[in-house]
């Protein structure tokens, strides 16, 4: 696996403290899910290729949150809910797939834990790079297929494989009755593989491979029930919007290579201080293009529009890809390029402003959505905005911290929502109702029916709202506190953003963050109230069919619930006397320390601990106020029935998500389509077609002459022969 | 002596060529081809007298080939005639693609 010569050269230079430990097995991390993908994909293909009597697609039964039609096959009747329909058919190889899929990710998680144990013992200050082969040897451009293991990538690996394994387990129960079961797990395993490549890659190009790969898997899984046009369209939308971001990432890579001549992280880190002018236009442009890539992948304004639509995929996919892991890739990229961003204060401020605006914007939309998954989708966008606020303000640790805690509680929220949808769908399925299983207006009072889900969802809600001692409180508080500190003294304060002093910008961001935190508490409490409290609105017939999910689904929820409750203690602030303080900060220091120090330069010595405490109290008060406001405003009133009493004024604008999709449609999509139709297709294409046709005509004409010479009469040929002979004679005899 | 022989054979050859080019009856074209062959034979014999008799051996070959050609050619002409009731070359354009 490892090219011996390269490895030997690396070892000869300086044996890394991690070599000889479990870290040597880092290459196996992505191979586990890749193997799982191969097995599951083979099973999926075999199952389709040889439809036998047990062919599950013969009578399709779509998974819970499907408004989707069946798949892989035609010939199922429209009446999936017919009384005489056979019971849901399992995939032919369901048992094997159920074993392989979660096991592949579980093994990777186990290995990651072993590597973590080794790394915690050594705590290396330099990254452990393992090179496998020359991938792109082209002149000056030398890109190796190499993995880099450091505290940052390992943190991400643990989250991806840990949360990923839980979601795989959940999926076993959730997707059990889906005819595309093997295909689902194949995609999911492939996603984990690419995600691990993304975070483990030792250079931007290797990361880009993972970056594109997760985009592909996201597309495949959003459109998993592709027989329904809307789902396929949502997948395409995600893919196309992400292309815009990828364009930015690519341009940034090109610029980096032109300026520094290397694309390895270590090389860039070493070359950047000398090769780029700090605060200069070049590094700023590079960072802004990187940011464009991040905005696409992490669903930030202006490229966030794909994420709400991505909810068309199965709910565990939303939990894994569109909440916990893939969408945080942008945050990872900014932290990975932290030194570059620290050298470009204007770009850093742009990151923070973008995050703050997104956080606030998405939170307001979340207030008025009725689809339970849409609320969570906008919540995810908003929380990603928080992460970008953090990394933009140079609070890299806080950003990663929020990434980790968010992975816990948002995965829990999505899986809890999945559990609810599963129950709702089953109930409606049993009663042949065609109500929307995801509409909160159809829920209510589920507390009594699904107590475990109810309690766990409340834990996640308290965590995301920022109630003290839950995970989200510490991370969000650290973000806001650090932004406040940066506004008091840092290179960002001394920089300008569009002519506005950085300090003013940062204080404004802090304010927007507080408002967004308040709104977060409101919309999450609203979701809980409408889903679990009050009168049940599911309908008389369906109500008795509402049941708690099986243990295979509640089990992962329990683990995530525990993590959401205590995850915050990974990095408690120094001024709170609970547990060892700032564990994560110390853990990540070798990676993000230099960039943080650069950005925080000029900060006034020791911050007053009382100020930190005060900021924490403000954040906690904001969260509590949000929850109280939501309970007081919404607690007693039942929501309107679907379609009744349309909202007016600002409520209507929020319910329609600020008409952004419509504006994009009018402003970008349709003009582009019209331009393609009128100018490119009928104009340019017509011109090129005309030229091609003209060329063809010329040669047809020449051919006609040649053809006319072939009379078929021997006499003509004899004349030609004689004339030719005479010409030859005339030339040769002089 | 040589010059006269060459001149005669050139004359015969040209007559043959002109016949091939201008006549439309396949039999006559055929006879003109024979005339050209024999013009060449005459050249060989004339040169053979000057440069050695080896060249005259070629003549035997040419006559053999000419005989074979006459047999095959006449057979084709007869076949065409049976098929089309004519041997007018202008009305035969089977070679046209």
Q: Quick one: pLDDT at residue A67?
A: 40
Q: Which residues of B touch A722 (CB under 8 A)?
A: 17, 21
Q: Quick one: pLDDT at residue B62?
A: 93
Question: For the purposes of burial, counting CB atoms within 10 Å of the CB of A1, is it exposed (0-12), middle (13-18) or buried (19 or more)?
Answer: exposed
Mean pLDDT across A225-234: 91
CA distance A286 to A257: 11
Q: Show which of residues 6-65 on chain B sit within 8 Å of chain A, judged by CB atoms.
A: 17, 20-21, 24
Closest-CA residue of B relative to A721 is: B21
Dmax (CA) for chain A in angstroms is 117
Please report how many Cα atoms fall inside a 13 Å half-sphere around the Cα of residue A458, on the Cβ side. Answer: 12
B77 touches chain A (CB under 8 A): no
Contact between A715 and B90 using a beta-carbon 8 Å cutoff: yes
CA distance A287 to A267: 17
According to DSSP, residue A129 is labeled E
pLDDT band at A645 (very low <50, low <70, confident <90, very high): low
Residue A710: which of B89, B90, B97 has the nearest Cβ? B97
Q: Which residues of A touch B92 (CB under 8 A)?
A: 713-714
Residue from A530, A401, A420, A538 nearest A475 by CA: A401
- In tens, the pLDDT along A571-628 reads 888 777 777 778 898 899 999 988 888 888 877 666 677 888 888 899 999 999 999 9
Q: How far from A173 is each of A57, A98, A394, A561, A731, CA to CA, in Å?
A: 18, 9, 41, 18, 91
Contact between A710 and B92 using a beta-carbon 8 Å cutoff: no
| CATH architecture for residues B2-91 | Orthogonal Bundle (1.10)
Q: Quick one: pLDDT at residue A106?
A: 95
CA distance B81 to B75: 10
Q: How far from A289 is each of A249, A252, A286, A333, CA to CA, in Å?
A: 6, 5, 5, 12
- Mean model confidence pLDDT for chain A: 86
Residue from B20, B27, B55 nearest B41 by CA: B55
- In tens, the pLDDT along A330-359 reads 999 999 999 999 999 999 999 999 999 999
According to DSSP, residue A303 is labeled S
CB–CB contacts below 8 A, A to B: 30
Contact between A707 and B89 using a beta-carbon 8 Å cutoff: no
Residue A718: which of B21, B90, B97 has the nearest Cβ? B21
Contact between B93 and A719 using a beta-carbon 8 Å cutoff: no
**Helices and strands of chain B, counted as H and E runs:** 3, 0
Contact between A712 and B21 using a beta-carbon 8 Å cutoff: no
Contact between A715 and B89 using a beta-carbon 8 Å cutoff: yes
Q: Show which of residues 350-409 on chain A sit within 8 Å of chain B, judged by CB atoms.
A: none
A710 touches chain B (CB under 8 A): yes
Quote the distance between the C-alpha of residue A416 and its chain's center.
19
Residue A714 has pLDDT above 70, yes or no: yes
Residue A712: which of B20, B24, B94 has the nearest Cβ? B94
Higher pLDDT, A1 or A328: A328
Query: What are the boundaries of each domain within chain A?
Result: 203-635+648-655, 664-732
Q: Quick one: pLDDT at residue A69?
A: 38
pLDDT band at A440 (very low <50, low <70, confident <90, very high): confident
Residue B90: which of A713, A719, A722 has the nearest Cβ? A713
Residue A711: which of B20, B21, B96 has the nearest Cβ? B96
User: Which of B93, B94, B97 should be substituted to probe chain A, the one whose Cβ sees the most A Cβ atoms within 10 Å?
Assistant: B93
Q: Which residues of B touch A715 (CB under 8 A)?
A: 21, 24, 89-90
According to DSSP, residue A543 is labeled G
Residue A145 in 3-state DSSP?
strand
Contact between A714 and B92 using a beta-carbon 8 Å cutoff: yes
CA distance B67 to A553: 100
- In tens, the pLDDT along A373-425 reads 999 999 999 999 999 999 999 899 999 999 999 999 999 999 999 999 999 99
pLDDT band at A89 (very low <50, low <70, confident <90, very high): low
pTM of the model: 0.80
Contact between A718 and B20 using a beta-carbon 8 Å cutoff: yes
Residue A55 has pLDDT above 50, yes or no: no
Query: What are the boundaries of each domain within chain B?
Result: 2-91
CA distance A181 to A102: 13
- In tens, the pLDDT along B25-59 reads 989 999 999 999 999 999 999 998 888 888 888 99
Residue B21: which of A710, A712, A722 has the nearest Cβ? A722
Q: Which residues of B touch A711 (CB under 8 A)?
A: 93, 96
- In tens, the pLDDT along A559-582 reads 999 999 998 888 888 777 777 778
| Cα-based angle A520, A526, A527 (whole degrees, multiple of 5) | 90
CA distance A390 to B95: 85
Across B18-42, b (16+ Cβ under 10 Å) vs e yields: ebbbebeebeebbebbebbbbbbbb
Residue A187 has pLDDT above 90, yes or no: yes
DSSP for A630-671, please give it.
HHHHHSSSPPPPTTSS---HHHHHHHTGGGHHHHHIIIIIHH
* Beta carbons of A25 and A149 less than 8 angstroms apart: no
CA distance A507 to A518: 17
B80 touches chain A (CB under 8 A): no
Closest-CA residue of A relative to B23 is: A715
What's the gap in Å between the CA of A696 and the closest CA on chain B?
Answer: 21
pLDDT band at A61 (very low <50, low <70, confident <90, very high): very low
Mean pLDDT across A524-548: 87
Q: Which residues of A touch B20 (CB under 8 A)?
A: 718
Mean pLDDT across A72-82: 38
- In tens, the pLDDT along B37-46 reads 999 999 999 9
Residue A642 has pLDDT above 60, yes or no: no
A722 touches chain B (CB under 8 A): yes
A652 touches chain B (CB under 8 A): no
What's the gap in Å between the CA of B55 and the closest CA on chain A?
Answer: 23
Residue B17 has pLDDT above 50, yes or no: yes
Share of chain A above pLDDT 70, in %: 90
């Amino acid at each position: 696996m490892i090219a011996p010569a390269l490895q030997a050269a690396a070892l000869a230079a300086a044996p890394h403290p991690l070599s000889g430990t479990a870290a040597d097995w880092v290459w196996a991390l992505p191979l586990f899910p890749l193997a799982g993908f191969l097995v599951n994909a083979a099973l999926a293909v075999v199952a389709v290729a040889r439809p036998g009597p047990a062919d599950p697609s013969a009578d399709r039964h779509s998974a819970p949150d499907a408004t989707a039609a069946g798949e892989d096959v035609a010939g199922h009747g429209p009446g999936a809910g017919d009384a005489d329909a056979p019971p849901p058919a399992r995939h032919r190889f369901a048992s094997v797939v159920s074993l392989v899929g979660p096991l592949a990710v579980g093994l990777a998680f186990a290995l990651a834990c072993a590597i973590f144990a080794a790394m915690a013992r050594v705590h290396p200050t330099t990254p452990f790079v393992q090179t496998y082969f020359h991938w792109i040897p082209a002149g000056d451009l030398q890109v190796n297929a190499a993995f880099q293991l450091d505290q940052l990538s390992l943190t991400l690996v643990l989250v991806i494989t840990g949360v990923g394994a839980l979601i795989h387990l959940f999926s076993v129960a959730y997707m059990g009755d889906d005819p595309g079961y093997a295909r689902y797990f194949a995609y999911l395993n492939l996603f984990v593989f690419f995600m691990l490549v993304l975070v483990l890659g030792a250079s931007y190009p290797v990361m880009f491979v993972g970056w594109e790969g997760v985009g592909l898997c996201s597309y495949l899984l959003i459109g998993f029930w592709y027989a329904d046009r809307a789902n396929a369209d949502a997948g395409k939308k995600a893919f196309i919007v992400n292309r815009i971001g990828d364009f930015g990432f690519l341009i940034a890579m090109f610029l980096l290579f032109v300026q520094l001549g290397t694309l390895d992280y270590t090389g860039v880190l070493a070359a950047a201080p000398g090769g780029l002018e700090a605060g200069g236009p070049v590094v700023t442009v590079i960072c802004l293009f990187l940011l464009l890539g991040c905005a696409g992948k992490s669903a930030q304004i202006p490229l966030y529009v794909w994420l709400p639509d991505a909810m068309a995929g199965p709910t565990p996919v939303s939990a894994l890809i569109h909440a916990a892991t893939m969408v945080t890739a942008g945050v990872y990229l900014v932290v990975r390029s932290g030194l570059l961003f620290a050298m470009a204060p204007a770009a850093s401020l742009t990151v923070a402003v973008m995050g703050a605006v997104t956080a606030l914007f998405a939170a307001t939309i979340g207030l008025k959505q009725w689809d339970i998954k849409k609320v969570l989708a906008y919540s995810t966008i908003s929380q990603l905005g928080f992460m970008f606020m953090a990394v933009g303000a140079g609070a890299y640790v806080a950003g990663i911290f929020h990434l980790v805690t968010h992975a816990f509680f948002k995965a829990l929220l999505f899986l809890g929502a999945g559990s609810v949808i599963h129950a709702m769908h089953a109930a409606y399925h049993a009663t042949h109702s065609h109500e929307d299983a995801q509409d909160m207006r159809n829920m209510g009072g589920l507390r009594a029916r699904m107590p475990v889900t109810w309690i766990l969802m409340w834990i996640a809600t308290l965590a995301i709202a920022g109630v003290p001692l839950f995970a989200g409180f510490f991370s969000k508080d650290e973000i806001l506190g650090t932004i406040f500190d940066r506004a008091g003294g840092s290179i960002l304060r001394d920089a300008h953003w569009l002519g506005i002093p950085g300090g003013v910008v940062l204080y404004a961001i802090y304010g927007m963050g507080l408002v967004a935190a308040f709104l977060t508490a409101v919309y999450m409490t609203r979701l809980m109230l409408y889903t679990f409290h009050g009168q049940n609105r599911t309908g008389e017939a369906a109500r008795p069919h509402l049941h708690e999910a099986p243990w295979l689904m509640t089990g992962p929820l329990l683990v995530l619930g525990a993590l959401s409750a205590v995850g915050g203690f990974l990095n408690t602030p120094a001024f709170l006397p609970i547990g060892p303080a700032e564990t994560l900060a110390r853990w990540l220091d070798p990676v993000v320390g230099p960039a943080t120090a650069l950005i925080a330069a000029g900060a006034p010595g020791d911050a007053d601990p009382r100020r930190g405490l005060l900021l924490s109290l403000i954040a906690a008060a904001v969260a509590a106020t949000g929850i109280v406001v939501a309970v007081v405003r919404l607690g007693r009133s039942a929501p309107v029935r679907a379609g009744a009493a349309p909202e007016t004024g600002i409520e209507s604008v929020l319910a329609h998500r600020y008409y952004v999709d419509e504006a994009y449609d009018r402003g970008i999509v349709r003009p582009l389509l019209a331009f393609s139709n009128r100018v490119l297709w009928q104009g340019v294409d017509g011109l090129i077609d005309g030229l091609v046709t003209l060329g063809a005509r010329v040669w047809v004409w020449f051919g006609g002459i040649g053809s006319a010479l072939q009379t078929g009469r021997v006499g003509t040929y004899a004349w030609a022969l004689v004339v030719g002979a005479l010409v030859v004679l005339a030339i040769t005899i002089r | 002596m040589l010059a006269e022989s060459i001149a005669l054979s050139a004359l015969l050859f040209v007559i043959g060529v002109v016949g091939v080019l201008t006549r439309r009856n396949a039999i006559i074209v055929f006879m003109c081809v024979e005339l050209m062959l024999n013009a060449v034979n005459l050249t060989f014999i004339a040169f053979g007298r000057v440069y050695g008799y080896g060249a005259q051996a070629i003549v035997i070959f040419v006559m053999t080939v000419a005989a074979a050609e006459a047999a095959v050619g006449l057979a084709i002409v007869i076949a065409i005639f049976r098929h089309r009731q004519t041997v007018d070359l202008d009305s035969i354009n089977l070679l046209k693609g």
